[in-house]
Amino acid sequence: MKKIKIISIFSLLFVLNVASMCTDEDDAPTNVNQTQVINTIISGTWRITNYVDSGVNETSNFTGYNFTFASNNVLTAVGNGVTTNGTWSVTDSNSNDDTLNDLDFNISFTSPANFVDVSDDWDIVSRTDTKIQLIDISGGNGGTDYLTFEKN
C-alpha cells in the first residue's frame, strides 16, 4: 500500500511539473512597460507591414521605406530615393483602456500626405522584439486604423 502511495505521489508531481512547462506563445505580453517598447523600437530599422485606414488597406504607400526610431525621438523614413523626417515618442496615456499598460505610441510627420496619415497617438496592441502592432479608434468618424511595424 505504501509503495502505491509513493508511486501515486511521484506520478502526480510529474504531471504537475510537465503541465507547468506548457505555455501559449500566442498570449500577448501583459506587462510591457515604456522602457521595453522604447528599447525595442530604437534597435534597428523597421518597415510597415500593415496599415489599414478605416477599412482601406494602404500598406502599399510605404513599400520600400525603412523607418529608424532614434533615441532622440527623431523618426526617419528612407526609401524610393526620398528621406522623410518626423518625430516619435512612447507616453503613458493613463486612459485605462484595454491596451498594454495604457501606453501611446506617438508618430508625427508634417509631409508627405501618406506619412501624415500615420501621424497619431496609437495604442499598442502587442509588442515583441520584431513586431509592434498599433491601433487607433478615431473619435471623429469612429473609424479604426491599424498599423504594424516589423523589424528588418
Nearest to 123 by CA among 96, 150, 85: 96
Nearest to 129 by CA among 8, 52, 17, 43: 43
Which structural domains are found in the chain, ordered by start?
27-151 (2.40.128.270)
Q: Are 117 and 58 in contact (CB under 8 A)?
A: yes
Residue 101, pLDDT above cutoff 80: no
Confidence of residue 29 (pLDDT cuts 50, 70, 90): very low
Residue 20, pLDDT above cutoff 60: no
pTM, to two decimals: 0.74
